[in-house]
Amino acid sequence: MSPEPFPGLRAYLAGRFGAEAKTASIEPLGGGGSGVKEGGYGVPYAVRWETPAGPRALVLETVRPGAFGHEDRSDRAALVLRAYDEYAGLPRHVAAVDVGAFREDGPVGLAGTREFFVLTEFAGGAPYADDFERIAAAERVEPPDRARAEALADYLAGIHATPAVHPSWYRRRLRELTGSGECLAGVADSYPASAGGFPDARLLEEVERLALAWRYRLRDRSDRLRTIHGDFHPWNILFREGADFTVLDRSRGALGDPADDVAALSINYIFYALRTRGGFGGPFAELFDAFWGRYARRSGDAELPRVIAPHLAFRALVVANPLWYPRESDAVRRSLFRFLLAVLEAPAFEPARIPDYLARTAP
C-alpha cells in the first residue's frame, strides 16, 4: 500500500465508501502528453482500491496556493465548491462524487477546516494533447483525426444550443476574462519580468488595453449567454476508441459566451501549426478548418467572428507564456503575440486571414 500523502484520507474513504477503501492506493496522476505544457493549479491523485464488485477508482483534486487569484484559502475553496456544483450539469463531464476539506487530523466536514478537495470518478482515456504530438511527428492528418475534431465541434454546438438567462453572468464573465487572476490580467502578471526580455511590460499593457475595449464593446451581448465548459483545451479532453471522449475540469462558471470554448480549443491548432511549420499550414491548419467549419455549420453562430477576439487573445497569451510552455521558441512566442494583437485590432476574426494576422509587422 502506498504512503498516505493526506493524513486521515484512507479513514475518510472507508467511512464514505466502505471498509475496503481503507486499503486504497493514492498516487499522483501524470499530466499526459509529451511535456510541451507544464504546470497546473494542483496535482490530481488517483485513488484506487478493490471492492467485492470489482476495482474502484476516483480522482482527488486540490488547488495549490499561489498566483492566478489563488492566494487565499477562500479563493481555492471557491474553485473546489464550484467544480462539485457544476460538473454534473455538463454532458460527458466526469462525475463529481464528493467535496470536503482537510483539517490537521484529516478530511472532515467544513467547519474548522483548512484546504478543500473534490473527488471525481476516474475516467480512462488519453489526453487529446497526445493526438497533437502524434500528428506533429507524422506530419499528416488521418481520417480519425478529422472525425475527432468534428466530434468536438458537434459536442460544443450541442451544449451551446440553448440560450441561458441570467441578469449578470455575461458581464461577469467578460469582466473576469479581462481582469481576473486566471485570465488575461493574471496571465499577463505571470510573465517573467526580465530586463530587455520579450514581451516587455508595454506590450502586455497594450494587450490588456485592447482587450478592455472589447469588454465594453461586448458587455451588452447577454443574448449570447449559454452553457459552456470554460476550459476546453486538449489536456481536459480524454479520448478512448474512435471519437468517444470524456471532458474534465469545467471551470469559471457554468454559463458564458460560446466563444470561450471555441477559442480554447482552436488556439491549439494554430499553436501547433506554428510549432511544426513556422506558420499556419499543414495538418494542424487542416484540423482547425475541420473544427471551425463544422462548428460554424452545426451551431449557426453567425456572430462568433465578431465576439471571439478577446477569448482568442487570452488563450494565445496562455500558450505563449513560458511559465506554462517553458520550452517554446522565441519565434513561436512572437508569432502568437502578432496573432493576438492583430485579432484584437480587427473588427471581426476571419479564419482565412490567419496568415495575415501572423504576418503583422511587430512585435
Give the per-residue pLDDT at 116: 82
What backbone phi and psi angles, to 5 degrees, belong to 250? -55, 140
Q: What is the pTM of this model?
A: 0.80
Pairing of strands 25-28, 96-103: unpaired
Question: What is the chain's alpha carbon radius of gyration, rounded to the nearest angstrom?
Answer: 21
Q: Is the pLDDT of residue 109 over 90?
A: no
CB 294 within 8 A of CB 164: no
Domain boundaries defined on the chain: 9-121, 126-358
The fold for domain 9-121 equals: Phosphorylase Kinase; domain 1 (3.30.200)
91-113 mean pLDDT: 76
Q: What is the 3-state secondary structure (H, E, C) of 50-102?
A: EECCEEEEEEEECCCCECCCECCHHHHHHHHHHHHHHHHHCCCECCEEEEEEE
With a CB cutoff of 8 Å and minimum separation 6, the contacts of 73 are: 114, 115, 116
> Which residue reads 472589447 in cell numbers?
214
List, for residues 24-46, the tens digit of each pLDDT value. 999 998 754 456 766 666 778 99
Residue 1's pLDDT is 60
What's the mean pLDDT in 277-291? Answer: 97
At 175-224, the pLDDT tens digits run 999 998 889 999 999 998 865 578 999 999 999 999 999 999 999 999 99
Three-state DSSP state, 132:
helix
Please report the sign of the dihedral spanned by the C-alpha atoms of residue 336, residue 340, residue 345, residue 350: positive
Whether residue 340 has pLDDT greater than 80: yes
Task: Identify which has the larger pLDDT, 350 or 182.
Answer: 350
Domains 9-121 and 126-358 in one fold: no
Q: What is the pLDDT of residue 3?
A: 66
Task: Give the closest residue to 247 by CA, choosing from 266, 263, 228, 260.
Answer: 228
Helix intervals (H) in 220-329: 258-277, 283-299, 309-319
How does pLDDT run across 47-85, given as a tens digit for each residue? Answer: 999 998 899 999 998 888 877 767 677 778 888 888 888
Fold assignment, 126-358? Aminoglycoside 3'-phosphotransferase; Chain: A, domain 2 (3.90.1200)
